[in-house]
Structure 1
Amino acid sequence: MRLTNSPFLVSVFVFCALTIAGCSEGTDKVKKTIIAAKGIDISMFAKNAFSQEPKIVDCETAEGTKTSCYQLITDGAPAGRTPGPFCPRKTSDGADVSGAWFNKDGMGDLVDITGEFILKLGDYYGDEKWMVYDAKTNEVRYTATKEACLGAAKPDVEEEYMQNCIECELSYLDDDFSRSFLIPTTPILAKNVGRVHTVGIALDGSELSAAAPVDAILGAYTIAAFDDCGGHINAHQGYHYHSTTGCTDKLMNDDGHAPLVGYASDGYGIYALKNAAGEEAGALDECRGQTDEIRGYHYHAASPSENKFIGCFHGETVSPEGPAHGAHPMGPPPHGAHPDGQPSADKPEVK
């Protein structure tokens, strides 16, 4: 879907002009912050990132500020690519047919979930109980059906779902599946930094998710495999990221600054960890943010294995519709959904 030369962009320009003219409500301090802040640039998103034309709607932040928000609706799939691979199928499989997972040290790059990694999970985590493969056939145990995917993505994983590499497919999503993001059109400086729930949206339309509950995942002797882009799928969030490895990066300027990854739920841009010279951003605040003349206030994502993108919200956000991430090892259900997915009378197949 092309967004250039559309009535939508005309409305954005009109809105921005009105904002700069000072028609927004609030104190003089907040007005100056709104005018100076760099908001979302819709043109930076990938083609087909949205399932509906983005629009501006009235909204209210969790702090009670009435403002305008971009309503961004997606279909749960990353625009421009097919997710995967995730879990290896045999203990002889290499990185070319396998996904990735957090480094146990919680820093640096992701580690490849190769067949050898599956074989050595006991040594890697110092727990001899790990056995995510069949020693007779050398086949890796993985969630091979929608029922198995839903069954493994529970806080109280039953024994039949343990010792599995968890992967889900986009085909498991409901036919009418959609995600809606409400993000202030121009960031509003918060009086106090906010706790991170849904971090934001990547430039391919996928959710930038809050921290995965790694202890619950590993405690069930499961691995919630990512693809090499740092994302995976569940039936409640669709495809979503827990790390950024460069798959959505896009340069906004040729000044050597780190590329844009996406936008946080408060409207500020999230940029990659390293700049064109391979140097990490320095002098970041507690939210992993900094300010420059070109981008205004903006964030820099943490390293892929830190299990976070940013440390907190610098700006006001619209209250999330569902529970905070962590209700499920692979992500929370949407507001009002059954907490364990759709119950099934049949036992799912697990390979």
Structure 2
Amino acid sequence: MRDPRHLAAATCLGALAAMPALAHDDPMQAIAAFFSEAQIVSGPEQVDCTLSGGTQTTCFRITVKPDPKAYTPGPWCPTQITDGADKGGIWFVDGKAEDVDGAFIARLAELYGDTEWQLFDPDTGAVRFTGTLEACEAAARPDVDPEYNNYCVQCLPDYLPDDTAITYVIPLTPVMADRPEPTALSGAGLAWNGIRLDGPAPLENILGAHTIAPFDDCGGHVNPHVGYHYHAVTDCLDDAPGATAALDTQDVQIGIAMDGLPIMAHRDDLVDQLDACNGIDLAGKGYRYYAGTAGSNAILGCHVAETGCTLEDADGICDAAAMPPEPPPGGRPGNGPPPERG
């Protein structure tokens, strides 16, 4: 096998350059064009950074608000068991995305084979859902407050301060890692609209408390720490800037991974060829990721290259190697190992 560093040929900039509308001599202009629909607070700018494997290199830094311009996030939880799908979002069940309508709430005990599920008042049909910031904070944490067992958990964008923003520091040129890295710590990447593409949702913790935390129809929900973010990729990201002008009409680049490699929209025809990280090295295109199916709870299975940072401080220095390690979540989609290293 050829030197794995060659797998990084499809850098975030290389993929953007394939779109005529986004080709620029200045790499920061190309990145700014790709994120033109994001609510940018500052950047993109070129900065020094240290990646997760200790490599010192050059990254781009961009600070964005976790708020899409094109639509209003939600809804998430229906309020009555008579509500239709338009009153709720989606949830992952057996690898598929299901509508969270009133009927879904009513059949949770049957669905999970557990009679302790009871998210609604049997007399009135009213659904129990978190309706305040305090309730959101108590129910959305890993150790769910027992008071909010058997609740539909939703946190509203209105709960966040108006100046909420997140800074992403991503390598301009990917550096292949010695071994695959989990997406749980840094997130999978950043979508073209400025919304975080996150790692897997902690379904075991959520379901263990007899709660569900639905995503809206775009695959996103809110928590008090990172704001609105995606755990699934749906057709809401298909209208990426430059997509209609792309030379490669089969692929739509929906984001840039935290390791600098491009993330493309899901393609059914490639599923059997993807590695465990949801990526593939395509002839003439280099290595690129393809988002998992909407119900897979894995936008990416892992990262094949060293990752950058997500920061709360817009002027912070990225040293991803100094961040505490986190074990990879169990279970990886895909049909083989990621590319060999070394």
Instruction: Please classify the TM superposition score into its range, dividing by the shorter chain length.
Output: 0.7 to 0.9
Cα pair distance change 1:284/1:195, threshold 3 Å: same
State yes or no: 1:131 paired with 2:111. no
For residue 200 of structure 1, the aligned residue among 184, 189, 192 is 189
| 5+ long unaligned stretches in structure 1 | 1-28, 327-351
After superposition, residues 243-254 of structure 1 pair within 5 angstroms as 243-249=232-238, 250=240, 251=243, 253-254=246-247
For residue 273 of structure 1, the aligned residue among 236, 252, 266 is 266
Moved more, 311-320 or 212-221: 311-320
| Identity %, equivalent residues | 39
Specify the alignment match of 2:330 in structure 1: none
For residue 256 of structure 2, the aligned residue among 255, 263, 267 is 263
For residue 148 of structure 1, the aligned residue among 131, 135, 147 is 135
Q: Tell me the distance in 1 between the aligned counterparts of 2:181 and 2:287.
A: 16
CA contact 2:149–2:210 (8 Å) conserved in 1 = yes
Amino acid at match of 1:232: H
Specify the alignment match of 2:215 in structure 1: 226
Q: Tell me the distance in 2 between the aligned counterparts of 1:177 and 1:239.
A: 10
Amino acid at match of 2:78: P
Amino acid at match of 1:271: M
CA contact 1:38–1:295 (8 Å) conserved in 2 = no
After superposition, residues 25-40 of structure 1 pair within 5 angstroms as 36-40=9-13
Give the superposition deviation at 1:145: 0.7
CA contact 1:87–1:113 (8 Å) conserved in 2 = yes
Cα pair distance change 1:292/1:317, threshold 3 Å: same
Moved more, 256-265 or 300-309: 256-265
TM-score (norm 1): 0.77
For residue 69 of structure 1, the aligned residue among 38, 50, 59 is 59
Give the superposition deviation at 1:282: 3.7
Amino acid at match of 1:102: F
After superposition, residues 205-220 of structure 1 pair within 5 angstroms as 205-220=194-209
CA contact 2:181–2:303 (8 Å) conserved in 1 = yes
CA contact 2:200–2:298 (8 Å) conserved in 1 = yes
Amino acid at match of 1:68: T
Give the superposition deviation at 1:286: 2.3
After superposition, residues 184-199 of structure 1 pair within 5 angstroms as 184-197=171-184, 198-199=187-188
Specify the alignment match of 1:25 in structure 2: none
Q: Tell me the distance in 1 between the aligned counterparts of 2:163 and 2:280.
A: 39
Moved more, 292-301 or 178-187: 292-301
Amino acid at match of 2:230: Y
Q: Tell me the distance in 1 between the aligned counterparts of 2:324 and 2:88.
A: 31
SS at match of 2:251: coil
CA contact 1:46–1:79 (8 Å) conserved in 2 = no
State yes or no: 1:175 paired with 2:162. yes
Give the superposition deviation at 1:46: 4.3
| 5+ long unaligned stretches in structure 2 | 17-30, 312-322, 328-342
Deviation by residue 1:214-256 (Cα, 9 ceiling, x = unmatched): 0110111111011001110011010001110121123362544
CA contact 1:49–1:203 (8 Å) conserved in 2 = no
State yes or no: 1:56 paired with 2:34. no
Cα pair distance change 1:189/1:112, threshold 3 Å: same
State yes or no: 1:162 paired with 2:135. no
Cα pair distance change 1:306/1:294, threshold 3 Å: same
Specify the alignment match of 1:301 in structure 2: 291
Specify the alignment match of 2:69 in structure 1: 79
CA contact 1:87–1:98 (8 Å) conserved in 2 = yes
Give the superposition deviation at 1:148: 0.8
For residue 236 of structure 1, the aligned residue among 222, 225, 243 is 225
Amino acid at match of 2:298: K
Highest RCO, 1 vs 2 (Cα 8 Å, sep ≥ 6): 2
Aligned-pair RMSD on alpha carbons? 2.3
TM-score (norm 2): 0.79
Greater Cα radius of gyration, structure 1 or 2:
1
Tell me the number of residue pairs that the alignment of Structure 1 and Structure 2 aligns: 291
Q: Tell me the distance in 1 between the aligned counterparts of 2:159 and 2:135.
A: 11
Give the superposition deviation at 1:315: 1.0
CA contact 1:287–1:313 (8 Å) conserved in 2 = yes
